Amino acid sequence: MSDSKIPHYDCGTLLFNITTSTLSKAQKRWRLAYWTIYSFRAMLSLIPKIQNDLEILQNPRYISLDMQPSSSHDEVKEVVSYSIDPNVDDKKLTEMVKNKDLLSLRLLGGVEGVATALGTNPEKGINGDNEDISKRSQLFGSNTYHKPPPKGFIYFVMDAFKDTTILILLVCAALALGFGIKEHGVEEGWYEGGSIFVAVFLVVVVSALSNYRQETQFDKLSKISKNIKVEVVRDARRQQISIFELVVGDVVFLKIGDQIPADGLFLDGYSLQVDESSMTGESDHVEVDSEHNPFLFSGSKVADGCAQMLVVSVGMNTQWGEMMSSISGDSNERTPLQARLDKLTSSIGKVGLTVAFLVLVVLLARYFTGNTKDDNGNKEYTGSSTDLDDVFNSVVRIVAVAVTIVVVAIPEGLPLAVTLTLAYSMKRMMADQAMVRKLSACETMGSATVICTDKTGTLTLNQMKVTKFWLGQEPIEEESYNVVASNVRELFYQAVGLNTTGSVSKPVSGSVPEFSGSPTEKAILSWAVQELGMDMEKVKQRYTILQFETFNSTKKRSGVSIKKKADNTIHVHWKGAAEMILAMCSHYYESNGIIKTMDEDERSKMENIIHGMAASSLRCIAFAHKQISEEELEYNEDGKIHQKLKEDGLTFLGIIGLKDPCRPGVKKAVNICKSAGVDIKMITGDNVFTAKAIATECGILNLNHQVESGEVVEGIEFRNYTNEERMEKVEKIRVMARSSPFDKLLMVQCLKQNGHVVAVTGDGTNDAPALKEADIGLSMGIQGTEVAKESSDIVILDDDFISVATVLRWGRCVYNNIQKFIQFQLTVNVAALVINFIAAVSAGEVPLTAVQLLWVNLIMDTLGALALATDRPTDELMKKSPVGRTEPLITNIMWRNLLFQSLYQIAILLTLQFKGESIFNVIAEVNDTLIFNTFVLCQVFNEFNARKLEKQNVFEGIHKNRLFLGIVGITIVLQVVMVEFLKKFADTERLTWKQWLICIAIAAATWPIGWVVKLIPVTEKPFFSYLNKSKLVFIWLKKTLYHKKKASSSMLAMA
């Protein structure tokens, strides 16, 4: 950067050489003033040598590092030593950057002086071996933040005990335990109360374990999402490392969209503007340069330009680190589906509470009216003669049953099922190259109706290679590159080697150089080095960069102005989209170096060349050049060259065509999305011919059919439509070429207004508005900037469209799994509530005890959620139409399935309740056990029915879900243990093998019932819409009658 400064005059020498005889009176005054200032500064410079602790350096505003400032910029550059100055005070360095203390920085010799003290070579970076990294980490700390410890298992256990119903059950258990021990002694009296205690603790522990596992899973994903890759130079090699491996002294390369990974100082770069809104809240971009503001802060984003940064402080020593350490990661985000389920849970809970209250009233009324009998057939309540302890014991038992009905009725498993299926799908999606940043995206993706996708890297491999080269109007083949004139070749060296954010490094071993940068930059650099024979180091030595404008998706070009050191000539180079560069030119070069004027015919020929290359799926990049004089440079007041480079009257150098092949399997993925009713729209910055060719190759446009009018548009055309035209034509558009980020945002807004659920892919900083506006933002993990990733909901780790299709499958799977569990749980809820209510009202007792009901609750809530919420996506999910925004959560198909299964269970269990003893010739205790056993086995068999909402074959693919089979197996084993071995705990009696077979046969009947029920057709119109219509008709009739009555009253009054 020192070479790029405007030459300055040595004022001291100038004034010294002027003789006093030639001076005017005013000039003599100036000379006197100069010598006064010069002498004063000379005396001040002697003070540090005499006195170490200056008063000025003791002031908190200044920083002393006890090291010698560097004498000049050139001297520092020659230093290759990697040794760290032992006197470096990292705390004072940190404070200097935080306070933006320019004076202290200058006292240290500027950025170069700090680099020397930190053992950093500005060009080659740090040594970078294990010993050096370890030493720097020990001296200055690591680039990690202290976080609040994650929530432990005990936290979730305690959280589960906050549930009101659980607390009431514990109180009932404690009372039952006390009365039981008092009445029957310790040996016999603890069974009832102790059983409820154990059952409650079991429910709490299982629930807490599930929540703890989910928290751990989210914590792991959070760590992965924060593991950003940064580009550094170590031992003269550019390489990517984890942000957590960054150390003080590292030289970091920054480009548009990058997050600044640590606090540091600006070393070198061009047009750097930084967004510090995350730190300061100010939305205006801050300009960073070496003179006025060289300070860079962790957590900020690069808004424009490129730079190299010297890392000065990391981790907890940065402002961002202090801020992040005080923020705890919260995984309690409520997704839209969870919010809908909370409402459903609340509604069902109210019904359950009403039923439980009625049961409580009926049972208490029957008890206090003497209609209940004890085990010996005597009345339990005989008025004032009844022992008070017995009354309390009976009341507590009745309350416990009522509360347990509430526990069973409230489907706590619904939120748990959503959490489990989201956590499970997030883990699986990571394996399928998709990292979920926002939970809601999992379920929303299942409803997507349109996917707007980028081309480069998403539909294509992003493995660029130069396959065509045109110089002027001449195609240059690989074997004939030697025909290019030396002066034209030199211009290409300038255009490629200096107008780039990439780099070329020669490896220690091997002859093939290493290229870094974007895939496009790497391809162009590789072509220039290997085909044109460019030596990038020599090119950089021959020229000084004056100004550099980086490429972005709005301009679609980058430019540079350079000065040749040999003759001080100034050259401007532009590189970018071929049509745009061509429009800036008035002349063109031939291969022999002759410059010719470009008339309309010549321009038309060039355009045809570009169209022909684009039609062959090539990305066309053009180069243009102009030599200018110093007089043509524009200056600001501060003497810097104006930011704007010359953009007209250029000379066209040539065009290269880069081939980027389509990804294997992308056509199949596009067809899968189409068959799922999802529309695919390709939005690209390439020209219309390249876009058409790639879209046809990928299956977005039909190969055998003529492209219809309106299917392919350019961004400017779409932008210039009226709002009504856009809304009408947006449905038909398949490809939008030469689009800007604003065009993408405009399309997303139009599609959403038309009622679509829109997913958008994006990788650039300028894509952030579209990613935020979309229902689901999908950023690219490899080519995506940090700004794009932060604006997105899901990061596609491999930048592959196939992964986008996989995310769509998982989104639909999440929604489908939730629906399966809702159907299963509501079947149990309806059956349990009806059975208990009818039995309580008619017989005065409930067939299932508190412990048995808690066991059923455990089966359907936790184990049921685990079994049904972990099904993998199937191909049949991708053959259905998208769910959309308004479809009800419980469909008519689900209502049909759950109502028939509930009616069957109610009929069977009520028959056993009232006629079971006579049918099977058993005592009451055995009959109660038969009811309990049959009810539980019905739920186990019904779990299989719930696997398929529409298909009759419920066993399809069951062997692939081992977790489901394992949970069913565990449930059956535990049920056998409950019935056969825990007689006093579960209040059961042992059953014979015949009785077991009867229970299994009754429960297994749910399979053929489910098979037959699925043959019954249902309308697609939601069931509740009929109720709403009836309600509206009723309101209309009511209003009509009211108005008629009012009219007749007024008539009578008038009469």
Give the C-alpha separation, 688 to 692, whole Å.
6
**Cβ neighbours around 492 below 10 Å, total:** 23
CA–CA distance from 416 to each of 206, 213, 961 (Å)? 11, 12, 19
CB within 8 A of 608, min separation 6: which ones?
Answer: none
Which residues of 383-464 form beta strands (DSSP E)? 434-436, 450-453
User: Tell me, what amino acid is at 34?
Assistant: Y
* H helix and E strand count, the chain: 39, 26
H or E element at residue 522: helix 519-530
Give the C-alpha separation, 429 to 438, whole Å.
13
DSSP string, 451-500: EEE-STTTTB----EEEEEEETTEE--GGGGGGS-HHHHHHHHHHHHTS-
Q: What is the three-class DSSP state of 270?
A: strand
Nearest residue to 1006 via CA among 771, 747, 831: 831
Total count of residues recorded for the chain: 1055
Give the C-alpha separation, 743 to 760, whole Å.
13
Name residue 587's beta-bridge partners. 597, 651
Give the C-alpha separation, 160 to 862, whole Å.
13
Instruction: Answer yes or no: are the C-beta atoms of 902 and 834 closer than 8 Å.
Output: yes
Which residues of 690-787 form beta strands (DSSP E)? 712-714, 735-737, 758-762, 776-780
Geometric angle at alpha carbon 891, from 946 and 906, rounded to 5°: 55
Going by the DSSP 8-state scheme, the letter that residue 32 receives in this structure is H
Give the C-alpha separation, 544 to 282, whole Å.
35
3-state helix, strand, coil in the chain (%, to 5): 55, 15, 30
**Cβ neighbours around 49 below 10 Å, total:** 7
| Contacts of the segment 924-932: beta carbons below 8 A, 24+ positions apart | 925/989, 926/989, 926/991, 926/995, 928/847, 928/987, 928/988, 928/989, 929/979, 929/988, 929/989, 929/991, 930/991, 930/995, 930/998, 930/999, 931/847, 931/848, 932/847, 932/848, 932/852, 932/979, 932/986, 932/988
Name residue 651's beta-bridge partners. 587, 625
Enter the tokens of residue 903.
């009616």
Enter the tokens of residue 204.
């709490």
User: Tell me, what amino acid is at 7?
Assistant: P
Instruction: Answer yes or no: are the C-beta atoms of 123 and 235 closer than 8 Å.
Output: no
**How many Å is the Cα radius of gyration of the chain?**
39
CB within 8 A of 767, min separation 6: which ones?
Answer: 553, 741, 744, 760, 779, 788, 791
On the 0-12 / 13-18 / 19+ scale of CB atoms within 10 A, 714 is middle
Give the C-alpha separation, 751 to 449, whole Å.
10
| The residue to which tokens 């039995």 are assigned | 839
Question: Catalytic positions, please?
Answer: 454
Instruction: Answer yes or no: are the C-beta atoms of 904 and 1005 closer than 8 Å.
Output: yes
Give the C-alpha separation, 940 to 39, whole Å.
97
DSSP string, 146-186: --PPPP-HHHHHHHHTT-HHHHHHHHHHHHHHHHHHHHHHH
Going by the DSSP 8-state scheme, the letter that residue 862 receives in this structure is I
